[in-house]
Each structure stands twice: as structure tokens, then as C-alpha cells.
Amino acid sequence: MLNMFLLASEAATDTAPAASGWEMYGSLIMMAIVFVAFYFILIRPQKKKEKEAAKMRESLEIGDEIVTIGGIIGRVVSLKEDHIVIETGSDRSKIRIKRWAIQSNETQHDA
């Protein structure tokens, strides 16, 4: 009985198609294509946007009108290495914020 079981299992494995090398390479190539697509669709534009934002933050000058990530609008009064002081409102209240919290520079400069 055990002999018949072994013969049946061997026959089943002999008729099962084995994965060829080309099928394995094909799946690797498809994974590489998906990674390249993700790079050009997601990663590359995000890095480009981050570089532009860093360049904008580094090129701030005193007197520029900025908008923070939280939506606060103000004029730059003082620039330090990692933070800036802005002046907001008609009562000229001053707020100290981090450079990374600046979303946009509303002042147009000559290139």
C-alpha cells in the first residue's frame, strides 16, 4: 500500500510542469519595471519639490512676506540659522518660527 502511494506521488511530481528559468527572469524584470515606474511617478517628483522648498527657505530675505504651514501670514523681521522672526497683523506682534515651517514666499524677487 505504501509502495502504491509513493509511486502515485512520484507520478504526480513528474507530470507537474517545472518553472523554467525564463519565467523566473520574467517576474524579476516585472518587479524592476514596477520599481522604476514608482520612482518616476512618486519618488522623483517628491525629491524635486523638496529641493525647491529648501532653496526657497534658504533664499528668504528681511522684508519678505511669507505664509507658514499653519496658515499664518507675516513679514520677515529677523533671520537666524534655524528659525526666523515674523511680524503679523496691524499691532505688529512678533512670532518666532522654525525655517521648516515656511510654506511659501509671497514676495516676488527679480531672478
Whether the per-residue pLDDT at 9 is higher than 60: the answer is: no
Instruction: Give residue-wise pLDDT tens across range 65-105.
Output: 999 999 999 999 999 999 999 999 889 899 999 999 999 99
Kindly state the cell numbers that stand for 53: 522648498
pLDDT (0 to 100) of residue 21: 73
Give the 3-state DSSP-derived string for 59-100, with helices as H, strands as E and coil as C.
CCCCCCEEEECCCCEEEEEEECCCEEEEEECCCCEEEEEEHH
Domain map (residue ranges) of the chain: 20-58, 60-105
pLDDT (0 to 100) of residue 24: 85
Provide the whole-model pTM.
0.65
Instruction: Give residue-wise pLDDT tens across range 41-55.
Output: 999 999 999 999 999
Looking at domain 60-105, does it have CATH number 2.30.30? Answer: yes
Percent of the chain at pLDDT exceeding 90: 68
